[in-house]
A and B are shown apart, each in its own frame.
Chain A
Amino acid sequence: MTEIQMTVNGKAVRGTVEGRTLLVNFLREDLRLTGTHVGCDTSQCGACTVHVNGVSVKACTMLAADADGADVRTIEGMAAADGTLSALQQAFQDHHGLQCGFCTPGMVMTAAALLKENPKPTEAEVRHYLEGNICRCTGYHNIVKAILAASGQDVSAIAAE
Chain B
Amino acid sequence: MYAFDFEKPSTIAEAVAALKDEDAQALSGGQTLLPTLKQRLASPSKLVSLGGIAEMQGICHNDAGQICIGAATPHARVAAEVAGDYPALAALAGGIGDPAVRNRGTIGGSLANNDPSACYPSAALASGAVIVTNARQIAADEYFQGMFATALDEGEIITEVRFPVPQSAAYVKFEQPASRFALVGVFVARFADGVRVAVTGASENGVFRWAEAEAALSANFAADALDGLSLPADGMIADLHGSAAYRAHLVAVLTKRAVANAS
> Is A56 within 8 A of B4, CB to CB?
no
* Stretch of B13-21, B34-42, B198-206 contacting A (4+ beta carbons < 8 Å): B34-42
Measured CB to CB, the closest approach of chain A to B113, in angstroms, equals: 14
Assuming the contacts A65-B8, A131-B97, asked whether A43 and B35 have C-beta atoms less than 8 A apart, the reply is yes
Interface of A is mostly: mixed
* Stretch of B62-70, B98-106, B207-215, B235-243 contacting A (4+ beta carbons < 8 Å): B98-106
> Is A57 within 8 A of B100, CB to CB?
yes
Pick the contact of B2: A20, A56, A60 (CB < 8 A). Answer: A20
Pick the contact of A41: B31, B38, B49, B76 (CB < 8 A). Answer: B38
Measured CB to CB, the closest approach of chain A to B49, in angstroms, equals: 5
Does A49 lie at the interface of the complex (its beta carbon under 8 Å from any beta carbon of B)?
yes
Q: Bound complex: CA of A23 vs CA of B19, how far in Å? A: 23
Cβ–Cβ < 8 Å partners of B98 in chain A: 46, 129-133
Does B51 lie at the interface of the complex (its beta carbon under 8 Å from any beta carbon of A)?
yes
> Is B30 within 8 A of A41, CB to CB?
no
> Is A43 within 8 A of B31, CB to CB?
yes
Pick the contact of B39: A41, A57, A63 (CB < 8 A). Answer: A41
Q: Bound complex: CA of A2 vs CA of B46, how far in Å? A: 13
Assuming the contacts A43-B101, A56-B100, asked whether A63 and B35 have C-beta atoms less than 8 A apart, the reply is no
Specify the chain B residue showing the minimal Cβ separation from A55: B103
Mark out the residues of chain B between 51 and 110 whose CB falls within 8 Å of any chain A CB in the assembled complex: 51, 76, 97-101, 103-104
> Is A43 within 8 A of B34, CB to CB?
yes
Measured CB to CB, the closest approach of chain B to A136, in angstroms, equals: 15
Cβ–Cβ < 8 Å partners of A114 in chain B: 99
Pick the contact of B100: A46, A63, A65, A68 (CB < 8 A). Answer: A46
Assuming the contacts A19-B47, A66-B8, A68-B8, asked whether A56 and B30 have C-beta atoms less than 8 A apart, the reply is no
Does A6 lie at the interface of the complex (its beta carbon under 8 Å from any beta carbon of B)?
no
Q: Bound complex: CA of A60 vs CA of B31, how far in Å? A: 10
- Interface size of A by Cβ–Cβ distance < 8 Å? 31
Cβ–Cβ < 8 Å partners of B8 in chain A: 65-66, 68
- A-B contact count, CB below 8 Å? 82
Assuming the contacts A19-B4, A20-B4, A61-B34, asked whether A129 and B27 have C-beta atoms less than 8 A apart, the reply is no
Determine which residue in A55, A62, A66 has the highest number of CB atoms from chain B within 10 A of its CB, and name it.
A66
> Is B6 within 8 A of A58, CB to CB?
no
| Interface size bracket, B side | 20 to 34
Does B136 lie at the interface of the complex (its beta carbon under 8 Å from any beta carbon of A)?
no
> Is A63 within 8 A of B101, CB to CB?
no
Assuming the contacts A61-B31, A63-B30, A132-B98, asked whether A55 and B2 have C-beta atoms less than 8 A apart, the reply is no
Specify the chain A residue showing the minimal Cβ separation from B33: A61
Q: Bound complex: CA of A97 vs CA of B248, how far in Å? A: 41
Q: Bound complex: CA of A57 vs CA of B179, how far in Å? A: 18
Does A89 lie at the interface of the complex (its beta carbon under 8 Å from any beta carbon of B)?
no
Specify the chain B residue showing the minimal Cβ separation from A64: B6
Does B154 lie at the interface of the complex (its beta carbon under 8 Å from any beta carbon of A)?
no
Q: Bound complex: CA of A133 vs CA of B99, how far in Å? A: 10
Does A18 lie at the interface of the complex (its beta carbon under 8 Å from any beta carbon of B)?
yes
Listed A/B pairs (27) with beta-carbon separation below 8 Å:
A19-B3, A19-B6, A20-B4, A22-B34, A41-B35, A41-B38, A42-B35, A43-B101, A44-B179, A46-B100, A55-B103, A56-B99, A56-B100, A57-B103, A57-B104, A58-B100, A61-B35, A61-B104, A62-B104, A63-B6, A63-B30, A63-B49, A65-B8, A65-B49, A131-B99, A131-B180, A133-B98
Interface pairs A-B: 6 shortest CB-CB: A132-B98, A19-B6, A131-B98, A20-B1, A65-B6, A55-B103
